[in-house]
Amino acid sequence: MNPARYHVMDSPVGPLLLAMAPDGLCAVDFLATSALDHRVASLRQRFPEHAWEAGPCAEAVDQIEAYFAGRLRAFRVPVILRGTAFQLAVWNALRAIPYGQTRTYADMALAAGRRVGASRAAGAACGANPVAIVVPCHRVVGTGGSLTGFGGGLAVKRWLLQHEGALIA
């Protein structure tokens, strides 16, 4: 088995669980909304080819800290995404949303090759995003700019968008 590490870091939006496999970052999760033991068990189930242990995830931590400090707008850490073809299409479309900008769920559906009517499916794919912040699902808003659904909670989504200048306080 290949070794992989998970690490809990403090952030302005609460504790984050980072998981780094040998070939890339595979999870960023808000620990305020889920227990550490549950998330690590989920990692072991999703990535059984790795032996998971607590340990440093320096590259990811450095980049996320730089993001929160306002020094980084585009993440360069390699990311591992596993999901359905539609989820992968949505997650890749999320990665194309520039820092400080937002898109709607309908935009995400179109970017993933579906019609506007698939906005709920795009929302579900955003909700299943395993690498929050780095794959910026927080940049997706409802029609008219309304803040809807976010795994870290709407207050965190609002904070992230304000941090990026996409929302006025």
DSSP the chain: -EEEEEEEE--TTS-EEEEEETTEEEEEEEGGGS-HHHHHHHHHHH-TTEEEEE---HHHHHHHHHHHTTS-SS--S-B---S-HHHHHHHHHHHTSPTT--EEHHHHHHHTTS-GGGHHHHHHHHHT-SBTTTS-GGGEE-GGG-----TT-HHHHHHHHHHTTSS--
57 in active site: no
Residue showing tokens 């995404």: 81
Catalytic residue among 26, 57, 126, 137: 137
Is the Cβ–Cβ distance between 92 and 126 less than 8 Å? no
- How many whole angstroms separate alpha carbon 135 and alpha carbon 145? 19
Q: Which residues are catalytic?
A: 137
